Amino acid sequence: MTGKQVEQPKQPQRWSMAWTAPVLALLLAGCGTSLSSLNLLDSNKATNDAPAESGGVGNLNNDDLDCPAVQVRTGAATLMIGGGGKPDEPAALNLRYQGTIIRYARECHINAGVMTMRVGIEGRVITGPAGGPGKVDVPLRMAVVQEGVAPKAIVSKFTIVPVEITSAVDRVTFTHIEEGVTFPIPSPASLLDNYVVYIGFDTLAAQQQNRKPAARKRR
């Protein structure tokens, strides 16, 4: 992974949970912006990479476990960057850049009772009325949540994806693949049916990361 993983909160954040788009097969490459070298095929079933072990998850057939579905969180599907260059909710005329998620995919592998996911995201950044050439840092959040009466965060990763805008009026496609989304298979394994991978833009985490430490007072 080339993206920086800066935090893994143990509790779910304030994102509402809803379906917004179907899962599509996606051509992605590494963790960069090329679509030419890696074919990430969306897979509903987990692949068991380990030999069967008596009494463990290793003896499950590939058809026994589904790969958790991917959903875009409501309210986290659009990135708005205003005239000040800060992710917020600017007036339309002050809008510099707007980002959207357009496609996503995932695949799963099981080894020694641990599931490892590769989750790919393809998005687009376009220039607004106040926009122009420059660099845009796209803040992406990816969180595996066990749904239920009390949703439980299993793993969460935050990544900044740099996007270069080269002209005053432009739209640039970016891609990102998170390679190391790992977590133990729950017991019983049927609980895996309640696992969902939520993706979206996390502007709050981006603001917190860019916030400089307060200067110490001199005595």
CA 99 to CA 121: how far, in whole Å?
12
Q: Is the pLDDT of residue 39 over 60?
A: no
Mean pLDDT value of segment 24-35: 33
**Domain spans of the chain?**
26-67+78-140+162-193
CA 15 to CA 77: how far, in whole Å?
11
Average pLDDT, the chain: 74
pTM (2 decimals)? 0.71
Write down the pLDDT at residue 8. 43
Residue 75 per-residue DSSP state:
T
Write down the pLDDT at residue 208. 77
∠164-168-104 over CA atoms, to 5°? 45
Write down the pLDDT at residue 84. 56
Q: Is the pLDDT of residue 35 over 50?
A: no
